[in-house]
Structure 1
Amino acid sequence: MAGNGAVTRNTLRQQIADALRDEVLAGRLPPGTEFTVKQIAEQYEVSATPVREALVDLSAQGLLESATYKGFRVRVFSVADFRGMVEARSLIVDGIFRQLVERGTAAGATERLVSVRRRAEEAMRAARSGSLEVLIGYDLRFWRELSGLVGNAYITEFLHRLRVQCWVFAVPHLQREAQLGSALWSGHSELVDAVTRADANEVHRLVHAYNQHALDWAAGLEEAGA
């Protein structure tokens, strides 16, 4: 019975963490929003223990931070933070694609590329139509599955957390964009094609363009005083 209770609690902990992460990524819990364990427990009608554990998990992922009176706050990232994230992810992604192109993919990757391509197509359509919340879901899955082709779970998980943080910063600003479609990168399918062909030059060009797109967008925010 004790084991079953632990499994249930851990499952609930993950469900609460996932739900809160989705709320943050959708902009329904904007940066700076404060709340307590008690408030979240009442909202989801659960006990405090799995809520506290979920909030500690999200804090460890860099999405929350301690607030006044032992509560939590959605972390506020600056433009400088975002630039640092882009630099970090560019180094990781560069390494991932260098391995994919030069050394090949992990076993079973051919079948997984089919799934990656589907994610890419959905992400591309969402980006071009300006469907931000839909894009975020497919974009995160796309990069998780694509980075997973190298067969290193540590790299995949680190990149995923970094990308979630990038979206946490970007969402409030993107929601105010008048022409959202033009502000979103949509080169997912081109990137999968280049990886499939093992075209190192094209992969490098696309990844560079992707990172530069993010940096140019951040520079525009600074100029606008965001």
Structure 2
Amino acid sequence: MPSISGNGAVTRSTLRQQIADALRDEVLAGRLQPGKEFTVKEIAEQYGVSATPVREALVDLSAQGLLEADQHRGFRVHEYSVQDYRSIVEARSLVTDGMFQALDQGHQGYVQDPDDRRVVAALVGVRRRGEEARRAADAGDLTVLIGYDLRFWRELGALFCNPYLSDFLHRLRVQSWVCAVQHLRRLTDLRGHLWSGHTELVDALSRRDTSAAREIVAAYNADSLALIERLAGRR
């Protein structure tokens, strides 16, 4: 964690975000298991900071659906069910379909001028994230995959120039990973189980081929849901 210096408000805001990011990464890595309870005091001592930015970070994570607040016992990692995962995947599908509709209809933003040099450069960056995600998926490296996958979708969503839509999709993807991790971590070898179609999706959107993009996302969602349902059934 950074030392506390400079403007107090800025420092506290930075600490708040860094603590939230660190705890989110702990959940995504499976080190903070669903149902795990902890207090503001415990987290503050762990990171060597005051209680205020910790409390704010935990409230932020609660608002994002990663934690549950208990007035008398502190916080606990939210436990998602398979039905929750199914609902999240459905919500993700509605958001991405809205993006593809915007591309079809030529709404303001990237979809209006896909040949703009800034857009082309941004797509190159998104595709690079996709390539890294594919390599991680092929290697069965879940931690690396999650990091690149979240960046991939965040940057892809930003191309549509609707920050509300992009933020909502990012939140859904974080929640879906939190839900999936508890099952995926039980597999000793994840190679061949993880989606790696990021670059194919970018290529389809670069061609403005939304039919292909929809097929890619639909297949991804169906396969992911089937995998989680199968793993959950083994418990």
Residues 88-139 of structure 1, C-alpha deviations (whole Å, 9 max, x = no match): 0011011112223442752632211011010000001100110000000000
Matched position secondary structure for 1:124: helix
Q: Which amino acid aligns with 1:32?
A: G
Separation of aligned partners in 2, 1:214 and 1:7 = 40
**1:113-124 aligned within 5 A:** 113-124=123-134
- 1:33 lines up with 2:36 in the alignment: yes
The unaligned stretches of length 5 or more in structure 2 are 1-5, 111-115
- The one of 137, 140, 146 aligned to 2:150: 140
Name whichever structure is richer in helix by fraction.
1
Task: Tell me how large the CA RMSD over aligned residues is.
Answer: 1.6
- 1:46 lines up with 2:56 in the alignment: no
Q: How many equivalent pairs are there?
A: 223
Residues 39-77 of structure 1, C-alpha deviations (whole Å, 9 max, x = no match): 000000000001000000000101000237240000000
- Cross-structure match for 2:8: 5
Instruction: Answer whether contact 1:83 1:218 (CA < 8 A) is retained.
Output: no
Deviates more, 1:26-35 or 1:133-142: 26-35
**1:93-104 aligned within 5 A:** 93-103=96-106
Residues 116-167 of structure 1, C-alpha deviations (whole Å, 9 max, x = no match): 0100000011001100000000000000011111100000001101100111
Separation of aligned partners in 2, 1:15 and 1:198 = 37
Separation of aligned partners in 2, 1:97 and 1:121 = 21
Instruction: Answer whether contact 2:138 2:194 (CA < 8 A) is retained.
Output: yes
Separation of aligned partners in 2, 1:154 and 1:188 = 22
Q: Which amino acid aligns with 2:153?
A: W
Q: Which amino acid aligns with 2:58?
A: L
- 1:150 lines up with 2:186 in the alignment: no
Instruction: Answer whether contact 2:33 2:77 (CA < 8 A) is retained.
Output: yes
- Cross-structure match for 1:162: 172
Cα distance, 1:221 vs. partner? 3.0
Query: How many percent identity over aligned positions?
Result: 63
Using the size of structure 1 for normalisation, the TM-score is 0.94
Separation of aligned partners in 2, 1:20 and 1:206 = 32
Cα distance, 1:178 vs. partner? 3.6
- 1:182 lines up with 2:185 in the alignment: no
Deviation beyond 3 Å, 4+ runs, structure 1: none
The unaligned stretches of length 5 or more in structure 1 are none
Cα distance, 1:200 vs. partner? 2.1
Matched position secondary structure for 2:76: strand
- 1:192 lines up with 2:231 in the alignment: no
Using the size of structure 2 for normalisation, the TM-score is 0.90
Q: Which amino acid aligns with 1:202?
A: A
Cα distance, 1:4 vs. partner? 1.8
Matched position secondary structure for 2:7: helix
Q: Which amino acid aligns with 1:71?
A: G
Separation of aligned partners in 1, 2:209 and 2:184 = 32
Instruction: Answer whether contact 2:61 2:67 (CA < 8 A) is retained.
Output: yes
Q: Which amino acid aligns with 1:98?
A: Q
Cα distance, 1:29 vs. partner? 0.7
- Cross-structure match for 1:212: 222
Deviates more, 1:59-68 or 1:14-23: 59-68
